[in-house]
Each structure stands twice: as C-alpha cells, then as structure tokens.
Amino acid sequence: MKFLPKLFAGWVLGVVCLGQLHAQVPVAAAPSVPERGLTGPHPDDDTFVMLRDASRLNDLARVDTYAARLQQYPLPSYVEYYRLKPRLASTSPDEIRSFLIRYQGSAIADRLRNDWLLELGRARDWVNFDQQLPLFVLNDDTQVRCYGLMSRVARGERVTEEARAALVNPQAYGDACNGLLVALAQANQFDVNDLLVQLRLAGETASTGPARRIATLLGASDAHAAQAVDFPALAMARGVGATRAEHEIYLVAISRMARSSLKLAAVALRKNLPLLSSQEQAIGWAVLAHAASLKLDPDAAEYWRNSAGAPLTAEQVQWKTRIALRQGDWKTVRSAIADMPAPLRSQSAWTYWQARAMQTDPASPPEAALALYQRIADQNNFYGQLALEELGQKISIPPPGPALTTEELVPVAANAGLRRAVKFFSLRLRPEGTREWNWELRKFSERELLAAAEFARRNEILDRMVHTSERTRTQFDYTQRFPSPHIELLSPTTNQLGLDKAWVYGLIRQESRFMTDARSSVGASGLMQVMPATAQYVARKIGLGDYVKDKLNDLHTNLVLGSNYMNMVLANAGGSQTLATAAYNAGPGRMRAWRATLSQPMEGAVFAESIPYMETRVYVKNVMANATNYAALFENRPQSLKARLGRVAPRTDAPSDLP
C-alpha cells in the first residue's frame, strides 16, 4: 500500500504546516509529548519495525540496541512502549505510572495499562490491579475481566451472575478465567450445577485443560475427563461410572464421539440410558442433537425432541432453533427462542426469526411481530434488510448529507492519532494502525466520522474508510460504505462473463475490505482472497498461459481469477448466489454436501442461517447483504434481499472437479 497518494500528500502536508494549532489536540485525545514528522518515510523506519518484532519476542538485548538508535524517531511513545512491554514483570510500578501519565489519553497508554493489568493479575497484585482497572478505558480484554472478578471474590464480593456470563468459552480461559473458576468454587459461589455446566462447555469446545480442572473441583478423575475429550471411545468403554460427576464425564465422551461417529455415540447412549437420571438422559440426547445438527443429519430433529428438559448451552439452543427452521416447525422456533438468554434473544437474527414465528401463531397479535421487525429494520445488515422487507419496504440508498467542507476535513487530517495510524499502515503494522485509528473514532461526531472516512479514502486505506463510515447513524455516505474501486479493471471480465457486478463487489468487500495486499492465514491473497491452488486451476481452465504463482498478487490477475472462479461456482450451484457464496468460502465440496441434505426447496435465508460452519454462515449473510446494497447503488433503484437469496433447491447436477 502506498503511503500517500501524490495528489493528497501535498494537501496533508499543507494542512499540517498551516495548522500547528491543530497539531496539538487536547490532552484527553493525544499524548502530552508531541510526535511529529509522521507525514513521510523516515530513515529509521526499518529499525523501528525491528524494535517492535524484538519486543514481541521478549528479546531484551535487541530491544535495547534498537531503542538506543531511535532516540529521535517520531514515535517516542511507541519506542518507549516496546522497551517497557517485555519488562513489565520486573519494572517498578513508578516507572510504568510515569509512562501512563506522560501519554495520558493516548491509545498506547491504554494498551500498556491493559498489558500491566494482565501482569498484575498473574501476580495476584490486587492492590495495584484495583487501582488501575477503573482507568482502563477500552476495558475489552476477557482476561482482565476475569482477573477483575477474581479480585472481587478475594475481597468477599459475590460475583456469581457476572461470572456465569463471562465463563462461556473454555478454549479462551487462560490463567485468568481458569483461576476465577477455582476461586468461585473455593468461595462456594459456584455450586456443583455450575461446575457441571462448565464441564459440558469444556466438552463442547474440546477444551482438555479446563475439563481436567473442573473434574478435580468436582472430586472426579482429571485423567478420565481428559480422556473423555481426547479419546472418547476409551472413555465410553470404561462405562458410566457411579457418581454424578462421572456420569457427566461419560456424557462428555458421548458428545466428543458424536462429532466423529454419530452412530456409535447414539448406540452407546441408548445402551446406558437406564443408568442415567432423566435429566442426564436429556443432556445425552442434547449433545447427540447438537452433533447431528452440525452434520445436518436427518435425525437431529428427533434428538432435539428427546432432549426436552435438558439445560442447553447457548450454542445448543441456537442449533435447536436452526433445525426447527429447516423443518418448518415454527412452534419449536418460538419456544426455543423464548428459552434463549435475553442478550442472545435480542440479537438481530433471533429477533427476526421470533417475529417470523409469531406470524404463524394465530394467538399472537400482528402488531407484536411488526414491533420486532421495527426494532431491527434500521440496521443495514442481513436481518435488518429482511425485516425491512417484512414491513413492506425494499433496500434503497439513503440520501447523502451535506458535502464535507475544507473546514471539516482540515482538523481530521491534522489529528495526531490518525496521522500515527497512517504511519503504521504505511509500515504494514496493521494492528497498531487499527488501534490508533479506532481510538480516535470514539470521540468523533457523525460529521467527523465522515471526514475521517474521507481522509482514509484519500490515503487509500479503504478498510478504515468502510469501518469508519459504517459508524454513522443519521448521516450517510454510501460511496464510503460500499466503494467500488478498480471498476475499470473488473468490468471487462464481469461483462464478458455476464456476472453480477454487485455480487462480485459484495464478496470483495467481505473478503478483503479492498486491501490489495491482504493475505489470509491459510495463504489466500489479494482483493478476492484467491488460494494458490485455486488460482492455478482457474488459470488453466481459462487458458491464462502466462500465469505463475507470483502473479496472484497482481491486481488485474487477482480480479480476473477471482471473478472467473465465482462464475464457475455459480454454474456449479445452479445459478444460486447463496450457494455459490457458500462455495467460495467453504469450498464447492462442502456446499454440495450441505445442498445434498435438502429433500425439497428451502428459503434462502433459512439455508444461510443453518450453514454448519460459523465462518461461512456469517460470510454468506454479509456478502448477500453487501450485494443488495451494491445493486441499489449501481442500479439506483430499491432492491430485494429476499429475491437475491431465492430458494435453495436440492442438488440435481453432477459432481464437479472444482477445488
């Protein structure tokens, strides 16, 4: 990514030079130590990046060497942060407080406070921890939250309900949340039922370490609990056991076995049902039902019926609802959503489906469903758009507000935090750039958000432009929210293929947020996040004879390959954009397997909501909502998401060799 486009570079430099009045923003918004010289490359940029990497590796010798070379570098707060970070355990509290005071109100000060709180929590230094926690502005770290609750338990406070809300994902517990769990048990704030819930969650998420700890707290064998998670067949062969905890460990084994062999797990459960209490039997059916749901197995609905009376986890109750949707069982949809915890039930997805279910109930007044649709119809997302259509409207582009003035753009371009962010993006230090950028957005009005989005556009940081513009609620600029860069490169291919340009841009927006150098953890590259093997396949199919792997990051090549692959998966999906979008993300083979579970056509929204992979489920909904907005922009007329989703038909085509 370029640092500054030529046309805009002079404008920014002029703004900074003209307005040193703007260079020092209030203390609450920027460090008290000025950080200037951020408007271009610096000879020590490479040394700064090496300092950052050395700090991440806790390589103190290299940290000191690089920091010594950077005494005049224009980011002194970060130079000092990278020097301090690996030393937090041994640095005096006074030195850390000195940093926090000097850079009070800055993103990096809040980051260091976050790091220090984690260190204080690990050391169980509750005096300093309790002093610093109220000053942690973002307060968005789960580990810090668990340490905070642990500190309150140590003071004798009752935190049971807050802890139940926090302890929902054993995979991410770490020292803090595992320690909190032990503290709650020792303080008698978590009883046996709470610990059994945690054991079920550990099994559901394949979390061996937490399963061991919870079994110990229950007075059961931690080795047996670990075996139930990692080697469920061996645990099932050992039998049900005599105690309630042992019964739960057996059910964890059933849960884990069902993920690999639903049939074997079902046989084992049925064999031992007489040895289990009625609630334990229901829990057993629930874990089978959850596993069957993830496979879209036809027995899932029956297993959910057998699970009546089981205490369901959040994931389980959502999958019970999804299977009922696939069955057209609106009565179960209504009851399952009613059983969800209030925060889950209020999410836009379940608000929408609750309203749909109400409309099938003759006893439910029509205005009740309409009120639920109204609650989410102003959200420009998948379910907000569907709710809008249920209210008799279509998706259109709101009129833009007044054009931004120079007076509005100048202070944004001079904002120290945004300038630091641009510097970080130019160095490809995206986490630091995103942190600085988002920190500044917290304080902006809607007009300032639009100005910041425009600043991002002119610096070619389009992901931040989209993210920033999406924050407005009363004034809109959909050219910022839904940009269409490189259209002159994309149009020849889409026109030749007859491919819906709105759908292509909807997918690009989700894949890369228009970052041309985007690269995923699995190797997908470029705007359209094409995998190397897929690129080779498509290049061969379309006769791109001069294609070599290094060309995948070439903008034009990436667009040509990605668009052609979209066209191929669309043809393989029988023309369904819903199915093709799922195939682009999860692979054509998985899409065909999901489609093969259908016995009759299914509403596109129901199919999307019941995709087994969470990533693909979210992806499909976002791409289809994006495409609807792009169509409204490109065609300048209202659009229907329902029509775009269509109905997904059972598979009738032959298998494909698509990768």
Q: How much is the average pLDDT of 549-562?
A: 90
Q: How much is the average pLDDT of 121-130?
A: 97
Q: What are phi and psi of 647, to 5 degrees?
A: -115, 140
Looking at the chain, how many residues does it have?
A: 659
Nearest by Cα to 512 from 490, 527, 502: 527
Distance CA 90, CA 161 (A): 35
Nearest by Cα to 479 from 260, 337, 289, 633: 633
User: CB–CB of 165/134 below 8 Å?
Assistant: no
Output the CA torsion sign for 433, 437, 440, 443: negative
User: CB–CB of 180/198 below 8 Å?
Assistant: no
Distance CA 439, CA 28 (A): 11
User: CB–CB of 76/35 below 8 Å?
Assistant: yes
Mean per-residue pLDDT of the chain: 93
Provide the pLDDT for residue 106: 97
Provide the pLDDT for residue 653: 63
Q: What share of the chain is helix, strand, coil (3-state, %, to 5)?
A: 65, 0, 30
Report field, pTM of the whole predicted structure over 0.75: yes
Q: Which residues contact 398 (CB under 8 A, 6 or more apart)?
A: 476, 478
Nearest by Cα to 615 from 511, 504, 467: 511
- Binned at pLDDT 50, 70 and 90, residue 31 comes out as very low
Does position 501 have pLDDT exceeding 70, yes or no? yes
Q: How much is the average pLDDT of 249-266?
A: 97
Does position 28 have pLDDT exceeding 60, yes or no? no
User: CB–CB of 323/342 below 8 Å?
Assistant: no
Provide the pLDDT for residue 364: 95
Distance CA 420, CA 437 (A): 8
Distance CA 456, CA 444 (A): 15
Q: Which residues contact 543 (CB under 8 A, 6 or more apart)?
A: none
b/e per residue, 183-205, with b = 16+ CB within 10 A? bbbeeebbeeebbbbbbbbbbbb
Q: How much is the average pLDDT of 150-159?
A: 98
Q: How much is the average pLDDT of 257-265?
A: 97
* pLDDT tens figures, 434-482: 999 999 999 999 999 999 999 999 999 999 999 999 999 999 999 999 9
Question: Which residues, listed in sequence order, are joined to residue 373 by a DSSP beta bridge?
Answer: none
* pLDDT tens figures, 66-104: 999 999 999 999 999 999 999 999 999 999 999 999 999
User: CB–CB of 401/475 below 8 Å?
Assistant: yes
Residue whose tokens read 């904002």: 415
Identify the burial level of 604 via C-beta atoms within 10 angstroms of its C-beta, where 0-12 means exposed, 13-18 middle and 19 or more buried.
Answer: buried
Does position 32 have pLDDT exceeding 60, yes or no? no
Does position 10 have pLDDT exceeding 80, yes or no? no
Distance CA 195, CA 198 (A): 5
Residue whose tokens read 């130079």: 79
Kindly report which listed range (50-64, 187-201, 550-564) carries the lowest average pLDDT score.
Answer: 550-564
